[in-house]
């Protein structure tokens, strides 16, 4: 199968290209080598052509491929609202131009990198009002060390629950908003072109080759970079925030399974959560990393940012049932290995 892989030089794209090649696929690799992700120097993979989805002509590139696996994006949550234009231009305009080119040449199959951030904070259950979205966290609660959100109806306590792919979007950051837009563009393209797309909503991805500490790095990379400097990881809030950390090998495997099956999917966009199925807290993750590296114990700081997600854990059942995907790397094993895995330095 001929596969066009965008973002092929990135953290996740590199692993997708490797697994797809091992499974016998002919992979055409593209990447912008965006400075925020790749820096200005360093070696370039000779298999990866440099291309800007926002401006370069794409028709010839997509004309003879069987499926497009679209990973190219600015990642991270964004630092503040000033990042909104960059996310819109790279993630959304780039995706729209790619889809337009696919329409011109009749390419009909897409696998799209999405994210659990489209859900915002997770969903919760109130003893009185049932399943609810969380109310916005209050400054007086946060400053007093009460970090869990309240019921939006009665302001009482609520418990987090796993969410599935039908959960409404509630993006909270520049990156999240751009991922929602990418899914909407892909869905519209499917309708207009009678095409098929699979959107994979990644949970917290980690593993070898992840970018080192930058303003756009995830919490696992930030903790890992602290350990490399001989410092204790600094954990915000009380460390009890719940996440699902999924190894990059499993993210890559899910993509290749989707690439191999998208043509048999029904028309339109189908989304799947890609998660390990083994939720853990950020504090537990930090302790696992520190212990494996022989580093100082994590420091729970009580610092907070009001817009941060408290808990988000999604069910991996649909990906298992429809794609045959189940994560192979358990978090306790993968996170311990991350203590010594090489990171990408800019």
Q: Are 180 and 171 in contact (CB under 8 A)?
A: yes
The runs of H, that is alpha helices, within 23-123 are 35-38, 59-62, 84-87, 94-105
> How do the domains of the chain map onto residue ranges?
2-121+163-209+246-276+313-328
Work out whether strand 280-281 and strand 242-243 pair parallel, antiparallel, or are unpaired: antiparallel
**Structure token pair of residue 279:** 């939720």
| pLDDT tens, position by position, 139-160 | 999 999 999 999 999 999 999 9
Which pLDDT belongs to residue 223? 92
**Measured between alpha carbons, how far is 337 from 334 in angstroms, rounded to an integer?**
5
What's the pLDDT score for residue 35? 66
Inter-CA distances, 238 with 37, 101, 140, 235, Å: 30, 48, 16, 7
Phi first, then psi, for residue 133 (nearest 5°) are -75, 160
Residue with the bigger pLDDT between 54 and 6: it is 6
The CA distance from 243 to 315, in Å, is: 12
Q: Examine the pLDDT at 39 and tell me if it is beyond 60.
A: no
Q: Does the global pTM surpass 0.85?
A: yes
- Rounded CA-CA distance 170/310 in Å is 14
d(CA 93, CA 11): 22
Kindly report, residue by residue over 188-223, the tens digit of the pLDDT.
Answer: 999 999 999 999 999 999 999 988 766 556 788 889
pLDDT band at 307 (very low <50, low <70, confident <90, very high): confident
Kindly state the tokens that stand for 276.
């390990």
Percent of the chain with pLDDT over 70: 95
Two tokens, residue 133: 């979205």
Task: List pLDDT tens digits, range 236-291.
Answer: 999 999 999 999 999 999 999 999 999 999 899 999 999 999 999 999 999 999 99
pLDDT in tens, 157-181: 999 999 999 999 999 889 999 999 9
Q: CATH top-level class for 2-121+163-209+246-276+313-328?
A: alpha beta
Structural contact between residues 220 and 280, judged by C-beta atoms closer than 8 angstroms? no
Q: Is residue 345 pLDDT above 80, yes or no?
A: no
| Phi, psi (degrees; rounded to nearest 5) at 24 | 90, 10
CA torsion 40-201-65-187 (nearest 10°) is -120
Interatomic CA distance for residues 230 and 293, integer angstroms: 10
Whether pLDDT at 4 is above 70: yes
Q: How far apart are CA 138 and CA 251, in angstroms?
A: 35
With a cut of 80, say whether residue 117 has pLDDT above it: yes
């Amino acid at each position: 199968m001929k596969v066009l892989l965008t973002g092929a030089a990135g953290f996740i794209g590199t692993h997708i290209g490797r697994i797809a090649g091992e499974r016998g696929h002919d992979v055409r690799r593209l990447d912008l080598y965006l400075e925020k992700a790749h820096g200005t120097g360093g070696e370039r993979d000779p298999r990866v052509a440099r291309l800007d989805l926002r401006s370069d002509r794409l028709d010839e590139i997509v004309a003879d491929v069987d499926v497009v696996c679209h990973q190219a994006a600015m990642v991270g949550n964004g630092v503040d609202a000033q990042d909104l234009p960059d996310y819109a231009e790279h993630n959304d305009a780039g995706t729209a131009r790619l889809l337009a080119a696919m329409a011109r040449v009749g390419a009909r199959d897409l696998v799209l990198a999405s994210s659990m951030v489209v859900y915002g904070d997770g969903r919760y259950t109130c003893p009185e009002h049932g399943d609810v979205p969380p109310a916005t966290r209050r400054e007086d609660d946060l400053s007093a060390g009460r970090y869990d959100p309240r019921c939006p109806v009665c302001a009482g306590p609520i418990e987090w629950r796993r969410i599935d792919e039908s959960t409404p979007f509630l993006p909270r950051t520049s990156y999240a908003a751009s991922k929602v837009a990418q899914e909407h563009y892909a869905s519209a393209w499917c309708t207009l072109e009678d095409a098929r797309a699979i959107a994979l909503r990644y949970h917290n991805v980690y593993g070898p080759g992840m970018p080192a500490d930058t303003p756009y790095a995830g919490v696992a990379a930030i903790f890992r970079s602290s350990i490399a400097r001989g410092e204790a990881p600094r954990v915000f809030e009380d460390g009890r925030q719940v996440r699902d950390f999924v190894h990059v090998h499993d993210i890559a495997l899910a993509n290749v399974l989707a690439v191999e099956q998208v043509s048999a999917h029904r028309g339109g966009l189908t989304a799947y959560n890609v998660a390990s199925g083994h939720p853990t807290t950020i504090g537990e993750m930090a302790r696992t990393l520190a212990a494996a590296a022989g580093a100082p114990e994590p420091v729970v700081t009580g610092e907070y940012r009001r817009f941060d997600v408290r808990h988000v854990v999604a069910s991996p059942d649909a990906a298992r049932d429809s794609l045959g995907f189940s994560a192979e790397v358990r978090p306790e094993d993968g996170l311990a290995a991350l203590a010594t895995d090489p990171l990408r330095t800019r």
